[in-house]
Amino acid sequence: MKYLVSGTSGPGFQSPDEAKQLLEGVVHPSFVRIQELEAEGKISASGLPIGDRTIIFVLEAASHSEADSIIQSMPIWSHLEWEVVALQSVSDRMAQEKQLLAQYG
């Protein structure tokens, strides 16, 4: 199954020390984790909207539980608000539409 995942409302920084701590301890390790998941074939595309504290990626997982576990494995998991949308393949949807067309004659 494929999922469109977005993590939004990333944390801001109150001081340079806080920025350094968050970037080194959370943000950078999360980017490393995403790259690892890309190398494993679990993430097929990822990116960040310019100027935004958001990460977006397409995740491949066998189940909702696996998708949830993968997302929670990211160091930044508790720092963002997550939206996860299960995607239906175009071929599956096309088959459904063909069945509808057949019903309508």
Structure confidence by residue, pLDDT tens digits, 39-94: 999 999 999 999 999 999 999 999 999 999 999 999 999 999 999 999 999 999 99
pTM over 0.85: yes
Distance CA(57)–CA(83), nearest Å, equals: 11
What three-state secondary structure class fits 105? coil
Burial of 67 (0-12, 13-18, 19+ CB in 10 A): buried
Q: Quote the DSSP letter at residue 9.
A: S
